[in-house]
Amino acid sequence: MNRISPNSLPEVMFPTNRKLTKWISEQAVKGRVRKLGPRLYTTNLKDDPRAVIRRNLWRIVAGYCPGALIADRTALEARPATDDSVFVVAERVRPVDLPGLKIRPRAGAGPLPGDRPFMTDLHLSSRPRALLENLKPSRARGGIARTLPRAEIEALLERDLIAGGEQALNGTRDEARVIAAELGLAAEMAELDRLIGALLGTRTAHLTAPSAIARAKGRPYDQRRVELFADLAAQLAAQSPVIRKAGNPAGLANLAFFEAYFSNFIEGTEFEVEEARDIVFNNVIPKDRPQDAHDILGTFEIVSNSAEMATRPSSPNSLLDLLRRRHASVMAGRPDTRPGRFKERPNRAGSTTFVVPDLVTGTLAEGYDLYRSLGEPFARAAFMMFLVAEVHPFADGNGRVARIMMNAELVAAGEQRIIIPIVYRNNYIAGLKALSNDGRGDPLVRVLDYAQRYAMAIPFESFDKANFVMARTNALLVPNEAEDAGVRLTLPATDLLLEADYLFPAKPTPK
């Protein structure tokens, strides 16, 4: 008889025949396998048992409950519950408790035609069936309840509506009617019908999930994004206050120029500094790039207007109005982008899909309520910028409008604006991605904090002096070239500022 090789075996094992049972017994005596639970062994002697079990979760469920149907809340959550419970319909009725896994079987109808095969020797309840069975009353008995709370089912249906539209919910309802008749779930079907009808606006029902209530009221929002905004607001509220008063007002025009210049450079509208200076201050529009020139002019028109930049939103509707008005100015040279009007089609950047069009106004309104809870200008500025950038309410020009909204918060409070120099673009984008993808706000806050400190140190009272200092501190370098050369944005040292004063002395005031 061939010898059993440990390398040929899976990480977890159930003795299924006499030969394997004998081998496991021998290896256990020698300390080469260990027991994880009843009839369950592993050849992994190093990792924590919980980690081993979680890696092999569904293999273990199938080992204890062959042919089982993943059901109840597990079918909708697609993972163990917070107390490690996995709920199944199976012939076995005794629960199994292991490190990191509690298998909770119950009696019930086995797989139906719509329940699909899952992993090895398991089935997964169809969504219509899982919804019906999660609407059955249940309560926790020594652990978490086997069905989801009503509010979570409402939120799940609302997400399905966002992803698949009315057709998806109507399809779910039609399939559920057939299943309800087969399983005797008439009361649950009636409740599911009411919930779907309420979300589609054809029926009334008592809703409890905030996103479902908003949908029924005609102002739906992106639930995942609102949760992200809530986390950011909490992170910003926990930060120590950052107060940096605005510098010399005599340098406003130059500061506004570089703010507009850098903000457009980030988005790919690239000019040499002197070209952009001619566009803004001398109205020299390049014949081959009129739209790019108007992008800078439109941005400068807003950021150089003290009254406009001191205007903050006072309500959800005023936020929407401000966004439209400022976007209309920035994008006036590009009528194809529908200046001042929210997007009609979904937009994306790389792998990120932004808030879909019919959720834009609702998501911004929910974001406004969180923004209003912040007291410090820097926190409000960072939050507002990310809110607009993450919702991406327009077909184009979102980044520029987001940074205008950010600096308007600071100007209104008499604090230093934030500028993102060319060389700092990658840092800024990385901060946005860390927050958008992973919910980590610290990288973006650090980027904005450093950018504000940098802007505060630049002598904007003189264009030439400011340009000289920024060139010497690497602000005007293209990010990838700077990274290849091993240089980064640096705060101007005192000797550099003194050199700038010497090279570009202040002009005497005319008598």
Transcribe 114-145 into DSSP letters.
TSEEETTTEEE--HHHHHHHHTS----SSSS-
Q: Based on the structure, what is the number of domains in the chain?
A: 2
Nearest to 371 by CA among 231, 241, 233, 224: 233
Here the CATH number for the domain that contains residue 287 is 1.10.3290.10
Signed CA dihedral, 108, 111, 112, 116: sign only: positive
Query: In 10 A of CB 74, how many CB atoms?
Result: 22
- Residue 480 is assigned to a structural domain of this protein: no
Residue 490 maps to a domain: no
Which range marks the domain in which residue 159 is found?
A: 150-220
- Do 456 and 318 have their domain in common? yes
206 and 235 part of one domain: no
Ordered per-residue pLDDT tens for the chain, 511 residues: 355 555 566 899 888 788 888 888 888 888 888 999 998 999 899 999 999 999 999 999 999 999 999 999 999 999 999 999 999 999 988 999 999 999 999 999 999 999 999 987 999 999 999 999 999 988 766 679 999 999 999 999 998 998 888 999 999 999 999 999 999 999 999 999 999 999 998 888 888 888 888 888 888 999 999 999 999 999 999 988 888 999 878 899 999 999 999 999 999 999 999 999 999 999 999 999 999 999 999 999 999 999 999 999 999 999 999 999 999 999 999 999 999 999 999 988 887 889 999 999 999 999 999 999 999 999 999 999 999 999 999 999 999 999 999 999 999 999 999 999 999 999 999 999 999 999 999 999 999 999 999 999 999 999 999 999 999 999 999 999 999 999 999 999 999 999 999 999 987 655 5
Instruction: Show which of 193, 220, 247 is a domain's final residue.
Output: 220
Q: Which of 10, 192, 37, 258 is nearest to 119 (CA)?
A: 10
Residues 209 and 294 in one domain: no
Cα-flanking dihedrals φ and ψ of residue 245, to 5°?
-65, 150
List Cβ neighbours of 70 (8 Å cut-off, separation of 6 or more). 61, 86, 87, 88, 118, 122, 123, 124, 125
Query: In terms of domains, do 258 and 202 share one?
Result: no
At 493, list the tokens.
Answer: 């040292």
The DSSP bridge partners found for residue 124 are: 70, 116
With CA atoms as reference, report the closest residue to 343 among 353, 289, 333: 353
Say whether both 176 and 264 belong to one domain.
no
Regarding whether 328 and 210 lie in a shared domain, the answer is no
